[in-house]
């Protein structure tokens, strides 16, 4: 017999039986817990799940590459990577030992746990143990010393004293120290065993070997080492079995739920919102009760590791509004656990938790639901694929159904419903902005054109944006582009109507627009409005309208690259703000940057750029709601201007979204940076670069006054 060691060395027969008994209990509790989780998820709305292979491979990729976990915090990412691989290797090692001990030997009388395999096994597990401990140390360092704000449990959506998250803190440290203790006791076991039973191949367990040397130097050998081994073995065993049993009930649940959630997540979450059945009863619209949540969304609640990256990225939280995406998920999770999960099965109900399944209002406050800009920053950064945005949107749908919304928002819906635009303008005024042009824009309803320009509300009706629309029209004319518009037939595309939760209005807008567009002859559609662009491109196909849709930055780049515009370098120093709907929603990051490069301006990036761009605060229909402005807070848009002006002297703050034009024109004035930086829309700069005279229209900014 080659190199190996007895498995239950020094244990009496009774002790081994006891161990197996405890193992059965532990596994039993674990299985019961997992079963409760499954039952909890099954309480949710059914939703089909396809493409299982692709889901599995994507999950493996995300989990093993740690691509998502490493983002925006490389130290914590490295820590988790180390402990993940260490833990996984140790888990595999334990499984191998289990197979050897409980299957291979008793059933097949085979012993593979010896010789070179055993030596390699020992070395690998020692390395894994070191990785685990190193990772845990890094995580502990992160938590205790670096202490990033996001790991604190302060809630931007509650007042101090209104909540107690101290148990979470305890849970985090218990979890960390349990794993740490498992690793340490594992190594101690090796050391004590080697100290009591000298082996010539001890060096294959380097850590154990070092410990053995140390113990021997302290005089710990023979039977005393064997006793220490005996005691430590039990400590390790009980700890391990307790840990296994606790997995479904503690933070450790993320070891199961997070990979599962990554696998079942909707890759288009938030980008393509779901539809509502035509015959749905009012109480079934959106989310109100916990069992309204889809089973996937219920599962995602348990996937949360409380890392706080979502809340850190949230523009509403940054502006002091009562929304914290993490805490919204955690509130739902606590409620689900209390009413549907293991807590419910055991009758554990923490104080203050409502008995019913209705969570809308308490703990999910309507103010939180309405604070969201649906900017996707939270979903985009979540390392475990939680879908905050569609969940919040579902709550909104229920609130809209009940009429519990900001009166301004309600008026806007009514206005859009009666006039087809959010400005309450008669439809005949939609093409009025073209009156300042030197030429007539083709009417797509009457003649064919290569490009169909879906202008959108802000670019059509808002005076400051009309200027940009005219700039783009002029640029297109100079480039010889063949384009047409829908004139009066165009209506609000509905992107924000949908995100504000008025799905019925959205679908009727989409249907009306699709009907209008379908009657025209063209090759591609473009829009300057990322919201419009997004919904036409990604959501209209679900309503029967599929076309190639471009953002004007992409179109401009195409024209520039085709050499159809004669550009002269402008030499400005600018920064560029990525619109949520263009960037995070559609990953168009480069086109506007390359246009800026082509017109010879120096781009200075803000610290938060591309996927980390900070929402201006207007999205998700927020632009139609009463502004909430907590005492002492700074608007997200103002913080963005602060960020831009901290880059040193810049000529322009460049945007590529009509709502950004409105939001940041205001923010430059109100942030105290008036005069330090000016706003330009991409088209305006391109127009300047081709040397065309700029629009003489007055720079009327501001909101439209509704008639009495």
Partner 1 sequence: MSTADNFVGIVVHAGGNVKGLFGPRFLPGVVAYLARHGDGTSPEGTPEVKAVVCVKQVVAIGDEIAFTDDGKSVDGDYLDHAVNEWDVVAVEEALRMTEAASAAGEESEVVVVTVGGEENEEALRRCLAMGAQRAIRVEGQSGALLDPLTVARRLAPVVAREAADVVLCGVQSSDSVQAAVGTMLAELLELPRVAVVKEISLDRADGTATVMRELEGGLVDVVEVDLPALLTVQTGINEPRYATLRAIKQANLKEIEVVEPSQDAPGCYEILRIYAPPRGEGAEMLEGSPAEVAARIVELVKARLS
Partner 2 sequence: MSGTIIVAEHLQGRLRDVTRELVTAAATLPGPVTVAIVAREPERIAAQAELEGVNEVVLVRAGGDEFENDVYQAALQALIAQRAPEVVLVGFTVGGMGYAPAVAARLSCGFASDVFGLERRDGRLVCRRAFYGAKVHGEVALPAGRTSVVMVRPTVFAPAADGASTSRSDMSIDPVTPRARHLRFVEAPQSDVDITTADFLLSIGRGIGDRENVERFVKLAEQMGATLSVSRPIVDAGWMPAARQVGQSGKTVKPKVYLALGISGAVQHLAGMKTSGAIIAVNTDPEAAIFDVAHYGAVADLFDVADELERLF
Chain residues in the site for partner 2 (CB under 8 A)? 407-408, 626-627, 629, 700-708
> Contacts with partner 1: how many residues (CB under 8 A)?
29
**Spatial CB neighbours of 537, under 8 Å, sequence gap ≥ 6:** 549, 586
Least distance to partner 1 from the beta carbon of 540, Å?
A: 17
Give me 83's structure tokens: 């402990």
Residue 702 has a CB neighbour count (10 Å cut-off) of 11
Q: Which is nearer to partner 2, 158 or 669 (CB)?
A: 669
Q: Which stretch binds partner 1 (CB under 8 A): 190-198, 273-281, 387-395, 577-585?
A: 273-281
147 binds, among partner 2, partner 1, none (CB under 5 to 8 A by kind): none
Name the residue with tokens 């940041």: 664
Residue 107: contacted member of partner 1, partner 2, none (CB under 5 to 8 Å, by partner type): none
Residue 547 is given by DSSP the state -
Residue 400 interacts with partner 1 (CB under 8 A): yes or no: yes
Q: How many residues are there in the chain?
A: 708
Q: Which of 438/698 has CB closer to partner 2?
A: 698
Q: Which does 126 bind (CB under 5 to 8 A by kind): partner 1, partner 2, none?
A: none
Which does residue 427 bind out of partner 1, partner 2, none, counting CB within 5 to 8 angstroms by kind? partner 1
Instruction: Quote the least distance from Cβ 700 to partner 2, whole Å.
Output: 7
Range 93-96 contact pairs with CB under 8 angstroms and sequence separation of 24 or more: 93/121, 93/124, 93/125, 93/128, 96/121
First-last CA distance in the chain: 97
On whether the CB atoms of residues 129 and 294 are closer than 8 A, the answer is no
- Binding to partner 1 by residue 503, rule CB under 8 A? yes
- Token readout for 697 is 């229209």
Angstrom distances, CA of residue 445 to CA of 451, 523, 551, 565: 13, 14, 21, 28
Q: Does residue number 539 form part of the binding site for partner 1 (CB under 8 A)?
A: no
User: For residues 587-626, which are near partner 1 according to CB under 8 A?
Assistant: none
* Residue 503 binding target from partner 1, partner 2, none, CB below 5 to 8 Å by type: partner 1
Burial (CB < 10 A; 0-12, 13-18, 19+), residue 499, is: buried
Query: Please, which residue, 103 or 699, has the CB nearer to partner 2?
Result: 699
Question: CA 133, CA 147: separation in Å to the nearest integer?
Answer: 19
Say if residue 130 is exposed, middle or buried (CB neighbours under 10 Å; 0-12, 13-18, 19+).
middle
Among 39, 97, 235, 276, binds partner 1 (CB under 8 A): 276
330 Cβ neighbours under 8 A, 6+ residues apart? 168, 301, 304, 306
Residue 427 interacting with partner 1 (CB under 8 A)? yes
Residue 425 found at the interface with partner 1 (CB under 8 A): yes
- The entry of partner 2, partner 1, none that residue 708 binds, CB within 5 to 8 Å by partner kind: partner 2
Considering only 109, 162, 279, 439, the residue that binds partner 1 (CB under 8 A) is 279
Longest dimension (CA), the chain: 100
Kindly report the number of other CB atoms within 10 A of residue 200's CB atom. Answer: 7
**Residue 505 binds partner 1 (CB under 8 A):** yes
Please state, in angstroms and as integers, the Cα–Cα distance from residue 660 to each residue in 208, 666, 679, following that order: 61, 10, 9
Given candidates 508, 628, 633, 670, which one binds partner 1 under the rule CB under 8 A? Answer: 508
How near is the Cβ of 705 to partner 2 at its closest, in Å?
Answer: 4
* Residue 418 touching partner 1 (CB under 8 A): yes
| Site residues for partner 1 per CB under 8 A | 276, 278-280, 282, 285, 400-401, 403, 405, 407, 410, 413-414, 417-419, 425-429, 502-508
């Amino acid at each position: 017999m080659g190199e190996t060691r007895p498995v239950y060395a020094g244990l009496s027969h009774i002790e081994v039986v006891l161990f197996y008994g405890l193992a059965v209990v532990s596994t039993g509790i674990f299985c019961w817990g997992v079963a409760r989780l499954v039952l909890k998820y099954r309480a949710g709305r059914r939703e089909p799940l396809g493409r299982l292979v692709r889901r599995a491979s994507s999950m493996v990729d995300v989990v093993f590459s740690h691509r998502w976990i490493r983002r925006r915090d490389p130290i914590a990412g490295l820590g988790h990577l180390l402990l993940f691989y260490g833990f996984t290797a140790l888990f595999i090692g334990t499984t191998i030992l289990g197979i050897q001990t409980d299957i291979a030997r008793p059933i097949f009388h085979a012993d593979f746990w010896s010789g070179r395999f055993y030596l390699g096994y020992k070395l690998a597990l020692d390395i894994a143990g070191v990785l685990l401990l190193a990772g845990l140390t890094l995580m502990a360092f992160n938590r205790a010393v670096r202490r990033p704000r996001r790991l604190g449990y302060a809630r931007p959506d509650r007042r101090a004293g209104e909540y107690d998250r101290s148990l979470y803190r305890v849970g985090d440290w218990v979890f960390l120290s349990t794993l740490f203790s498992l690793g340490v006791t594992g190594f101690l076991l090796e050391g004590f065993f080697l100290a009591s039973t000298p082996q010539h191949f001890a060096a294959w367990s380097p850590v154990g070997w070092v410990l053995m040397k140390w113990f021997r130097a302290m005089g710990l050998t023979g039977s005393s080492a064997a006793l220490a081994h005996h005691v430590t073995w039990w400590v390790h065993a009980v700890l391990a079995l307790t840990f296994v049993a606790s997995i479904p009930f503690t933070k450790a649940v993320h070891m199961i739920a997070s990979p599962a959630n990554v696998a079942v997540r909707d890759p288009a979450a938030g980008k393509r919102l779901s539809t509502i059945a035509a015959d749905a009863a009012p109480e079934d619209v959106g989310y109100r009760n916990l069992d309204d949540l889809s089973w996937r969304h219920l599962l995602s609640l348990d996937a949360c590791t409380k890392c706080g990256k979502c809340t850190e990225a949230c523009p509403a939280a940054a502006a002091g509004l009562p929304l914290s995406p993490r805490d919204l998920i955690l509130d739902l999770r606590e409620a689900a656990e209390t009413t549907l999960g293991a807590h419910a099965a055991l009758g554990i109900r923490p104080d203050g938790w409502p008995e019913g399944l209705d969570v809308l209002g308490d703990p999910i406050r309507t103010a939180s639901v309405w604070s969201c800009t649906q900017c996707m920053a939270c979903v985009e950064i979540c390392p475990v694929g939680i879908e905050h945005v569609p969940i919040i949107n579902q709550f909104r749908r229920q609130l809209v159904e009940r009429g519990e919304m900001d009166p301004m928002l309600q008026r806007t819906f009514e206005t859009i419903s009666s006039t087809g635009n959010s400005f309450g303008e008669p439809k005949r005024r939609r093409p009025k902005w073209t009156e300042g042009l030197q030429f007539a824009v083709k009417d797509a309803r009457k003649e064919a054109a290569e490009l169909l320009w879906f202008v959108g509300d802000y670019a059509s009706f808002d005076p400051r944006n009309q200027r940009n629309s005219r700039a783009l029209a002029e640029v297109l004319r100079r480039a010889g582009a063949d384009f047409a518009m829908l004139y009066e037939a165009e209506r609000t595309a509905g992107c924000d109507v949908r995100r504000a939760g008025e799905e019925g209005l959205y679908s009727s807008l989409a249907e009306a627009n699709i009907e209008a567009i379908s009657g025209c002859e063209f090759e591609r559609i473009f829009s300057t409005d990322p919201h419009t662009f997004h919904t036409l491109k990604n959501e209209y196909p679900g309503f029967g309208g599929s076309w190639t849709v471009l953002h004007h930055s992409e179109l401009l780049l195409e024209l520039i690259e085709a050499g159809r515009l004669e550009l002269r370098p402008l030499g400005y120093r600018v920064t560029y703000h990525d619109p949520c709907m263009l960037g995070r929603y559609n990953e168009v990051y480069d086109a506007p940057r390359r246009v800026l490069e082509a017109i010879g301006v120096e781009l200075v990036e803000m610290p938060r750029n591309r996927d980390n761009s900070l929402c201006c605060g207007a999205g998700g229909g927020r632009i139609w709601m009463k502004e909430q402005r907590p005492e002492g807070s700074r608007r997200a848009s103002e913080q963005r201007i602060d960020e831009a002006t901290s880059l040193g002297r810049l000529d322009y703050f460049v945007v590529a979204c009509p709502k950004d034009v409105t939001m940041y024109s205001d923010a430059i004035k109100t942030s105290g940076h008036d005069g330090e930086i000016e706003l330009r829309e991409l088209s305006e700069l391109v127009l300047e670069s081709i040397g065309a005279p700029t629009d003489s229209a007055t720079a009327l900014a501001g909101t439209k006054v509704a008639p009495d």
